[in-house]
Amino acid sequence: MTLRPAEVFRVAFQNPVLLAAGTCGFGRELSGVVDLEALGGMVTKSITMAPRAGNPAPRVAEFDAGMVNSIGLANPGMERARDDKLPWLADHLRRARVLVSVAGHTVEEYVELVRGMEAADGFAAFEINLSCPNDQRLGGRAFSLDRDALTAVIGRCRAETSRPLIAKLAPNDPDLVDTARAAVDAGADGLTLINTLPGRLLDPGDGHPRIGAGQGGMSGPALRPVGVHAVNAVAGAVDVPLIGVGGILNADHALEYLHAGASLVQVGTASFAAPRAAERIARDLARRRDLPAPWGASGRGGPSHASPG
Ligand code: DOR
């Protein structure tokens, strides 16, 4: 059985499963292992204006309920991403949709990134990463936690592109629902909920941080209830599509997010142990009956059964 394509923020997706930012580089890196065309789509590694080497090693450490990363936005910078990486995606992907993730240090940098990428081919939408917990220049503080900065980024970027703008928000936000409303009022066409949660793993012997930067972002199974809760809470407050991400290992987990009100999901941490996890989840979802809208037989429309917090 196959799913009927669904339109989400004006883009047609063949299924609801995307690879999350940071899990497949710019696609080519995983293309020998993963059938990207079997996915709803993929999000590129976040692009910054200047190339970034990233944070000190080790950058990733596992624990019993997930992992902590502090990659530090390692990426080739905007020009190389646009001129060397995007053309491969434009040439190779027909069915899977590409979202380009951008991350700045200042409002101006976000604007320059969107302006600089806009003329490139090979992608359908921007994911504005406002929630990296690992940017040492920002002291590990997510951009989306500053309301004025958040609305300025979205409002200014909105004027630079005709593509959908999807804002990726942080989980450690006591006012997440208000932040989501503010992002939508400023012009976001969708929201990705959520980025990783700031966390720290210590060596029990000597008390040393297990990742080089000390602090990192936690992902994996422990994050799933946080993500599902965020989607459920925000779905009742805004009327743009939501992308749910955090701890999805299988189709049941994806369904939790879809029932909470997400139109799409992203798979991140599961891909590190099993690069084809997202493909498997997409295939398994296609066999399920009664998927929530916009995927189910009842079809169109926005999020389904979001229930009060
Ligand atoms: O957990 C994360 N790690 N979230 C981000 O937004 C960026 C990434 C990194 O590069 O550190």
pLDDT band at residue 136 using 50, 70 and 90 as cut-offs: confident
How far apart CA 197 and CA 172 sit, in angstroms, is: 6
- The residue extents of the domains of the chain are 6-286
R_g of the chain, CA atoms, integer Å: 18
Q: Does residue 46 contact residue 101 with C-beta atoms inside 8 Å?
A: yes
CA-73 nearest atom, ligand 1: 10
Q: What is the pLDDT of residues 275-301, one digit of tens each?
A: 999 999 999 999 998 899 999 854 444
CA-75 nearest atom, ligand 1: 10
> 217 C-alpha vs ligand 1 centroid, how far in Å?
7
Going from the C-alpha of 36 to that of each of 5, 72, 98, 249, the distances in angstroms are 16, 25, 10, 18
How far apart CA 8 and CA 307 sit, in angstroms, is: 21
CA-nearest residue, atom 4 of ligand 1: 132
What average pLDDT score do residues 44-50 get? 98
CA-219 nearest atom, ligand 1: 1
Residue 244 bridge partners (DSSP): 193, 265
Q: Is the pLDDT of residue 305 over 60?
A: no
ipTM reported for the complex, 2 dp: 0.99
Q: What are phi and psi of 202, to 5 degrees?
A: -115, 150
Q: What is the pLDDT of residues 19-43, one digit of tens each?
A: 999 999 999 999 999 999 999 999 9
The mean pLDDT of the chain is 94
CA-nearest residue, atom 5 of ligand 1: 132
CB of 266 shorter than 6 A to ligand 1 = no
- CA nearest to 94, candidates 12, 33, 22: 12
**CA within 13 Å, CB half, 97:** 24
How far apart CA 140 and CA 134 sit, in angstroms, is: 5
pLDDT band at residue 3 using 50, 70 and 90 as cut-offs: confident
What's the pLDDT at 220? Answer: 98
How far apart CA 162 and CA 124 sit, in angstroms, is: 10
Q: How far is CA 40 from the centre of its chain?
A: 13
Q: Is the pLDDT of residue 308 over 60?
A: no
Q: Is the pLDDT of residue 181 over 70?
A: yes
Choose one of 48, 128, 134 to mutate for the ligand 1 pocket test, by most ligand atoms within 8 angstroms of C-beta.
Answer: 134
User: Known catalytic residue: 132?
Assistant: yes
- First and final CA of the chain: distance in angstroms? 34
**CATH classification code of 6-286:** 3.20.20.70
CA-70 nearest atom, ligand 1: 11
> 287 C-alpha vs ligand 1 centroid, how far in Å?
32
CB of 129 shorter than 6 A to ligand 1 = yes
What's the pLDDT at 194? Answer: 98
Question: Strands, DSSP E only, in the chain?
Answer: 6-8, 11-13, 17-19, 41-43, 60-63, 66-69, 97-102, 125-129, 165-169, 190-193, 197-199, 216-219, 242-245, 264-267
> 70 C-alpha vs ligand 1 centroid, how far in Å?
6
What's the pLDDT at 1? Answer: 60
